[in-house]
Amino acid sequence: MSPELIRLIAEATCDTLYMVAISGLIGAAAGLPLGLFLANSKRGELFAAPALNAVLGILVNATRSTPFIILVVAIVPLTRAIAGTSIGTTAAIIPLSIAAAPFIARIVEGAVREVDHGLIEAARAMGATPLQIVTRVLLPEALPGIVLGLTLAVVSLLGYS
């Protein structure tokens, strides 16, 4: 291999890692609280807000079901407004983050919903507040599923990038 080809491969690898790392962090920062809210905001849940849950659920489903290339084209004006351009590695972070956040949210929601309801009831019986239940019961119990989901999200981001 020529030195020029090795340099190009190294540069492209660094660009990919940059895009995936930044968009993964942004997607996780947006998807984790969104997923927690979706899991705990239905009627009768810790933070009951069924109307908002329904609206956010529709928005998440619509974004997740949109093919990535269509999402990229559809948000070109937003990408230009944020990044100043619609091409390049920095500009690619915006659609990658928007694609990652709802994916991560659904994974977090599923992981949280898998937590045994008896643990939540026990925490309530001991007088835990809803925020304490989320931080001290739901998140620790759902952590293995969340980590697995974040791994899947990073792999998907690699494919998208």
What pLDDT sits at residue 50?
A: 92
What pLDDT sits at residue 81?
A: 93
What pLDDT sits at residue 161?
A: 85
One-letter amino acid at 136 equals R
Rounded to whole angstroms, the Cα distance separating 18 from 107 reads 23
The greatest distance separating any two alpha carbons of the chain, rounded to the nearest whole angstrom, comes to 68
**End-to-end Cα, the chain, rounded Å:** 25
The 10s digit of each residue's pLDDT in 88-144 is: 999 999 999 999 999 999 999 999 999 998 999 999 999 999 999 999 999 999 999
What pLDDT sits at residue 46?
A: 84
What pLDDT sits at residue 150?
A: 94
The 10s digit of each residue's pLDDT in 25-75 is: 999 999 999 999 999 998 888 888 999 999 999 999 999 888 988 998 999
DSSP structural state of residue 116? -
pTM (2 d.p.): 0.89
Residue 82 tokens read as 């944020």
One-letter amino acid at 145 equals G
What pLDDT sits at residue 1?
A: 79
Rounded to whole angstroms, the Cα distance separating 84 from 50 reads 38
Residues 6 and 14: beta-carbon distance below 8 Å: no
Residues 106 and 35: beta-carbon distance below 8 Å: yes
pLDDT at 8 over 90: yes
